[in-house]
Structure 1
Amino acid sequence: MARTNAARPPTRPRGEAPGKRLPKAERREQLLETAEQIAREEGTEALTLGHLAERAGVSKPIAYEHFETRSGLLIALARQIDDRQVAALIEALKRTQKRLEDVARVVSAAYMHCCATVGPQWFAILAALKGDEQMDAVERELLDRYVTIYRDALAPCVQLSKRELHLRCVAIIGAAEALAAEMFRGRTDESAAAKALESLIVQWLSKGG
């Protein structure tokens, strides 16, 4: 949604009095929460450090102290969104039996649900940072993290070497991204995309394949 010209009241953490100084970690969390709200309501094009400071009810130097640049803010926001999704996936895996079918179902459903819920924000951030070398490195790092999570979750369920399983998980993440793209184009829905990814994982990894 395009940013409007209407004045908006500053956004403060619930219960925070004007002028209250928060510990640095809490202030950063407040700023990121406000940044995510701006991105959701107004679009990433509205997400500047000056506008963030205004919405959060702090001075511009505070926003610059935490993120330095607009790119730094967007990258921090991307990391926070991804960290939240990873935490939910890991928690779900803790409750999942170490059976290939069960693990495949959980990771597939989690991936597609993540894409359906925060995908638009995520891709808007990527578009805003297209060509940014630091964001390219961060994106590779986050993809590698998913590969590692999948590999470690699937390892007890398959008869493959660690290296072979790692390579197959790289390909699985690639397939997941392709299915997510189909979902964003309106050619499939979240449930069908998750089922397709689940089937691919089971068929490719069962009995060492």
Structure 2
Amino acid sequence: MTAVGNGAQTAGRPTRLPRSARRKQLLAAAQEVFVAQGYHAAAMDDIAERAGVSKPVLYQHFPGKMELYLALLDTHCDAIVAKVHDAMRGTNDNKERVSASVRAYFDFVDHESEAFRLVFESDLRNDPAVRQRVERVEQGCIAAITDTIISDTGVSRAHAELLASGLVGAAETAAQFWLAGGRQVPKAEAEALVAALSWRGIASFPLQGESA
């Protein structure tokens, strides 16, 4: 295997990197191995080899395979939630907010397809620690959209959460289907289709101060 990034071995010894850079390099190597082999088949030996480091170096950063896997999930889960928050804060135009939230999912699966599979197609979904992180993504995205719906429409939190969960579910499922289907529909067209479907429902709720 070829070593990942700038951590290749020199004269039989791994290049010394700052701790943050080494951690990033190890996570990148681990992601490639986990996506290719699945969690259960992946071995710390494989990850160390892919990163071009010794196992002791790998264990200095991550005490075990599960801790490494969860660290990867945390990184990607935070990134998805941040994208949806940015979509809500980036404009006051609610139609564009819906489009941006859908785009956040499609951008993630398009540019980070390995990460998307790691989070949403994990062979560890039934593990409590993994399930908690996947649920945190969904709840974090729902919360970001819920607050916007409440502030704009004045509906109750329970109603807003239900609407937000529908939007998140549609975006996530459609993006996953698009990726699994080999991106047969052009990305921009796929985003527009899902956004239009979602907007036609959200737009039926008037802004505060407007009559229904």
Under a length normalisation based on structure 1, what TM-score does the superposition of the two structures give?
0.75
Please state if 1:205 is matched with 2:205: no
Please state if 1:107 is matched with 2:101: yes
The code of the aligned residue for 2:48 comes to A
Task: For structure 1, list consecutive stretches of 5 or more residues without a partner in the other structure.
Answer: 1-7
3-state DSSP of counterpart to 2:112: helix
The verdict on how the C-alpha distance between 1:112 and 1:158 changes in structure 2, with shifts beyond 3 A counting, is farther
Q: CA deviation at 1:199?
A: 2.1
- Report if the CA contact (8 A) 1:34-1:55 is conserved: yes
Q: CA deviation at 1:57?
A: 3.0
Aligned-pair Cα RMSD in Å: 3.2
The verdict on how the C-alpha distance between 1:157 and 1:196 changes in structure 2, with shifts beyond 3 A counting, is farther
Q: Which residue of 2 aligns with 1:82?
A: 77
Q: CA deviation at 1:98?
A: 0.7
- Report if the CA contact (8 A) 1:92-1:106 is conserved: yes
Please state if 1:98 is matched with 2:95: no
3-state DSSP of counterpart to 1:127: coil
Q: Which residue of 2 aligns with 1:59?
A: 54
Q: CA deviation at 1:116?
A: 2.9
Which one has a larger percent helix, Structure 1 or Structure 2?
A: 1
Q: CA deviation at 1:197?
A: 2.8
Q: Which residue of 2 aligns with 1:194?
A: 191
The verdict on how the C-alpha distance between 1:188 and 1:208 changes in structure 2, with shifts beyond 3 A counting, is farther
Cα deviation digits, residues 35-91 of structure 1 (max 9, x gap): 234456x55467432222223233213323433332332232222233334444444
Aligned residue among 64, 71, 86 for 2:66: 71
CA distance in 2, matches of 1:174, 1:11: 34
The verdict on how the C-alpha distance between 1:176 and 1:60 changes in structure 2, with shifts beyond 3 A counting, is same
Aligned residue among 148, 164, 171 for 2:143: 148
The code of the aligned residue for 1:68 comes to P
Under a length normalisation based on structure 2, what TM-score does the superposition of the two structures give?
0.74
Q: CA deviation at 1:162?
A: 2.8
Please state if 1:28 is matched with 2:17: no
State percent identity of aligned pairs: 22
- Report if the CA contact (8 A) 2:91-2:97 is conserved: yes
CA distance in 1, matches of 2:122, 2:15: 35
Please state if 1:180 is matched with 2:172: no
The verdict on how the C-alpha distance between 1:63 and 1:153 changes in structure 2, with shifts beyond 3 A counting, is farther
- Report if the CA contact (8 A) 1:158-1:207 is conserved: no
- Report if the CA contact (8 A) 1:151-1:169 is conserved: yes
Please state if 1:11 is matched with 2:4: yes
- Report if the CA contact (8 A) 1:104-1:202 is conserved: yes
- Report if the CA contact (8 A) 2:3-2:50 is conserved: yes
The code of the aligned residue for 1:199 comes to A
Task: For structure 2, list consecutive stretches of 5 or more residues without a partner in the other structure.
Answer: 207-212
